[in-house]
Amino acid sequence: MMRRALLWLSERQSIFNFVRRNGLARSFASRFVAGETIATAVAAATELQGRGLTATLDLLGESVDDIADADRARDTYIEILRAMHAAGVEVNASVKLTQMGFDVDEVHCEANLRQILSVARELEGFVRIDMEASEYTQRTLDFHARLATEFAPHTGVVIQAALRRSTGDVEALVTSGTRVRLCKGAYLEPSTVAFPQKRDVDAHYVRMMERLLADGAYPGLATHDEVIIERAKGFINGHGIAADRFEFQMLYGVRRDLQEALVREGWRVRVYVPFGTQWYPYLMRRLAERPANIAFILGNVVKEATRRS
Ligand SMILES: Cc1cc2nc3c(=O)[nH]c(=O)nc-3n(C[C@H](O)[C@H](O)[C@H](O)COP(=O)(O)OP(=O)(O)OC[C@H]3O[C@@H](n4cnc5c(N)ncnc54)[C@H](O)[C@@H]3O)c2cc1C
């Protein structure tokens, strides 16, 4: 109920217009979003690097219906890659195809991605194509496969354990040597395409994780689920898999304790760092995942405000 309400709120532009002007809401957002500019995002990546973590930067913003907006997002991504390089942090970004004009003009979208990936290749970096709702899954995989012939290993995709089809997709991606980020899936999907029960999603995640760890090309295990992370460690140790053959991935501001504990144990951890002016829908989705965050973040905001006064 709460999850649905928060997801509904995430789509209300009028609420965002109000919220963006509100200082309290902005400090609330800063827990999960690294500011509104490239400079604040690169500063966050630099700070993470200082603590032994790597980053992937994500310019917030989804589906565009105007190709000029897609081109602006493309140019910002190119700037992001160059700014990371200039700052001496690993060049790594995550991009959503709908932000690059996927729904407006797929050919133009592909041209945008080619420009971004050319820069990623030039800087020896990496650009991950995020996975969106299930209506985009096949199109996104096909799109990636076209680009991969030219740009692998500088690009990769995301697979969602929530989707029933994903086992087959993972097999194909293992065969093609594609870099896969494995996540549970952030979208509300019908039970015809997705497992409605969390335990089935988790079990599916573990099966695909083990397949990718055994034979995949540098998989990214994107989860904050401690049970699954322990399971991964057991599998890795049991199969003599080297720590540099994969990485854990987590979201900026989520389970920072766990991120640091994994680094201390010698594992690689990449943090997904979102930034930009369009932070409101992203923030609402994170709160929908764990409504207890509302109280948690509010508590921190109040603590910091009383410390300042
Ligand atoms: C690096 C990264 C990239 C991602 N990319 C995509 C993508 O391209 N497409 C897509 O659909 N989804 C993506 N996701 C989101 C993902 O699909 C899940 O919605 C999200 O990660 C929550 O799932 P979980 O695996 O952490 O497990 P859950 O079962 O949801 O949570 C496990 C535990 O993690 C903790 N936790 C989870 N979320 C939060 C939170 N917001 N705040 C505090 N604690 C939390 C809680 O303690 C919870 O008990 C990505 C996630 C990560 C980490």
**Whose CA is closest to atom 44 on ligand 1?**
254
Residues constituting the chain: 309
**Is residue 50 pLDDT above 50, yes or no?**
yes
- Which residue type, as a one-letter code, is found at position 130? D
What per-residue confidence (pLDDT) applies to 1? 64
Q: Indicate whether residue 272 lines ligand 1 (CB < 6 A).
A: yes
53 lines ligand 1 (CB under 6 A): no
**292 occurs within a structural domain:** no
Look up the pTM and report it. 0.91
**Residue 192 is assigned to a structural domain of this protein:** yes
Select from 223, 247, 252, 262 the residue to mutate for testing ligand 1; criterion: most ligand atoms less than 8 Å from CB.
223
DSSP state of 225: -
State the catalytic residue, choosing from 179, 181, 211, 286. 181
To the query of whether residue 181 is one of the catalytic residues in this protein, the response is: yes
Number of domains in the chain: 1
Contact (Cβ atoms closer than 8 angstroms) between residue 125 and residue 81: yes
Query: What is the arithmetic mean of pLDDT over 218-247?
Result: 98
Q: Distance (Å, rounded) from C-alpha 172 to C-alpha 154?
A: 18
How many CB atoms are closer than 10 A to CB 170? 24
User: Is 130 known to be catalytic?
Assistant: yes
CATH number at residue 45: 3.20.20.220
pLDDT tens-digit map of 156-191 = 999 999 999 999 999 999 999 999 999 999 888 999
Q: In terms of residue numbers, what domain contains 177?
A: 34-275
Q: Is residue 289 domain-resident?
A: no
Residue 8 belongs to some domain of the structure: no
Residue 303 domain-assigned? Answer: no
Cα dist. 254→21, 39, 135, 143 in Å?
24, 21, 28, 30
Whether residue 96 contacts residue 57, with contact meaning beta carbons closer than 8 Å, is answered with no
Residue 241 CA to ligand 1 center (angstroms) comes to: 24
Q: Is residue 63 part of a domain?
A: yes
Is 18 within a domain?
no
- Residue ranges of the alpha helices (H) in 221-278? 226-238, 256-264
290 in ligand 1 pocket by Cβ < 6 Å? yes
CA 37-43-47 angle, to 5 degrees, is 150
| 159 domain-assigned | yes
Assess whether the C-beta atom of 208 lies below 6 angstroms from ligand 1: no
User: What's the CA dihedral at 159, 161, 163, 167 to 10 degrees?
Assistant: 70
Digit-coded pLDDT (tens) for 6-25 = 777 667 666 666 666 666 66
Residue 288 scores a pLDDT above 50: yes
pLDDT above 50 for 308: no
Return the residue whose CA atom lies nearest to atom 48 of ligand 1.
Answer: 225
